[in-house]
A = this chain, B = another copy of it.
Amino acid sequence: MTTAELELTTARTSAQSTSATMKALIYHGPGKCAWDDKPRPTINDPGDAIVRITTSTICGTDLHILKGDLPAVTDGRILGHEGIGVIEQVGAGVSEFHVGDKVIISCVTGCLKCDFCRRGMYSHCRHGGWILGNTIDGTQAEYVRIPQADGSLYNFPPDGDEEAMVMLSDILPTGFECGVLNGQVKAGDTIAIVGAGPVGLAVLLTAQFYSPAAIFMIDLDDKRLAVAKKFGATTLINSADGHSAHHVMELTAGAGVDVAIEAVGLPATFGICQAIVAAGGRIANVGVHGKPVELHMEKLWDRNISITTRLVDTVTTPMLLKVVRSGKLQPRKLVTHRFAINDIMKAYDTFRNAAKEGALKVVLTNS
């Protein structure tokens, strides 16, 4: 690299990034976190970008981390893997983004170069995957370093709305890729979504891209089911009575559903999916599981079904952006609460008590 190139790189840093510290939500072991000072991130690698966060949100996974369920997350880590922001600085190897670009940050980091990325499996990228707010510092902060920036950022559309677009960081591609695409939802299908939390609702919204004829929504919470109704579910089933599978079988005249989408992550809900999948159908798992499940191969071996698992790859983000821009998908619907970033501790409280608060997605704004 010549001196001229070095200067070029320097020049690609905006004037704003002068202060050395910033505020961030820092994890300090199970049950402990604080909105506190941290050094601002800097470029470590030619593929990095530094992004000033303008909007972020909280994911159910963040709650798991706070409980201590993910031991890979260690003391001192900044949480968060979703966000919108403005690029402050880029490394010499970043070619697709420039200082000042407004961007959507993908929860999954993809180098685009490794064998997994070449196959569209950014989730298993050899240099990335889900690392933000996990093994490296995340987005619930004033600034974040995004490695492999060319594969992990998307241009914010000129007419975009930050609240809507931050849903593209994780929840919409997760619901769409793991649930809808893996479930191969087709026009005329009868599908069931088990779990009407934010990710189940993301499945519900994106499943409608493919015009299923019937969408059964199964959950324990009538409030969430009522939301699902507004979002397009055709039949609501409260599973509190333990007979939801039975109800589905009755409603389908014993046939079961073409696609059963698990959006909870428990043996019981996975069990419902096994009980209701039709011969020739698909079970698409979206939920994060902590224990084994009993798979009834003695009943399923001759049923011509498929079961899929997937960590979101975010390869469909460009497609989702097009659909959002066309107006056919309105992700803003998922946002129920808004907080200034300085009130992030309150935001976590609200999100932690989602049922009581009627919370789906909670948006955090850095003004």
Interface residues of A (CB under 8 A from B): 1, 5-6, 9-10, 43, 46-47, 91-96, 111-119, 121, 123-124, 127, 150-151, 182, 186-189, 208-214, 234, 265, 270, 279-280, 285, 287-298, 300-311, 313, 315, 318-323, 325-326, 328
Complex Cα distance, B320 from A301, in Å, reads 23
Selected contact of A46 from candidates B46, B279, B295, CB within 8 Å: B46
* CB pair A303 B295 closer than 8 Å: no
Known A113-B150, A118-B315, A302-B123: A46·B309 in contact at CB below 8 Å: no
Complex Cα distance, B267 from A295, in Å, reads 10
* CB pair A121 B291 closer than 8 Å: no
7 pairs, A vs B, C-beta closer than 8 Å: A1-B43, A1-B92, A115-B318, A118-B318, A119-B280, A188-B321, A208-B211
Number of copies: 4
Complex Cα distance, B295 from A187, in Å, reads 31
Complex Cα distance, B116 from A232, in Å, reads 28
* CB pair B297 A289 closer than 8 Å: yes
Complex Cα distance, B304 from A182, in Å, reads 9
* CB pair A320 B280 closer than 8 Å: no
* B residues in contact with A151, CB < 8 Å: 112-113
Known A280-B116, A294-B292: A301·B285 in contact at CB below 8 Å: yes
Complex Cα distance, B5 from A46, in Å, reads 9
Known A187-B323, A298-B290: A309·B304 in contact at CB below 8 Å: yes
Given contacts A115-B318, A301-B309, 9 further A-B contacts (CB under 8 A): A1-B43, A118-B315, A118-B318, A210-B210, A288-B301, A289-B297, A293-B295, A304-B309, A306-B308
List 4 A-B pairs, minimum CB-CB distance, nearest first. Answer: A93-B93, A188-B322, A213-B326, A302-B311
Selected contact of A209 from candidates B150, B211, B292, CB within 8 Å: B211
Residue of B nearest to A303 (CB): B309
Complex Cα distance, B298 from A234, in Å, reads 31
Selected contact of A95 from candidates B123, B127, B295, CB within 8 Å: B127
Residue of A111, A188, A287 with most partner-chain B CB within 10 A: A188
* CB pair A304 B124 closer than 8 Å: yes
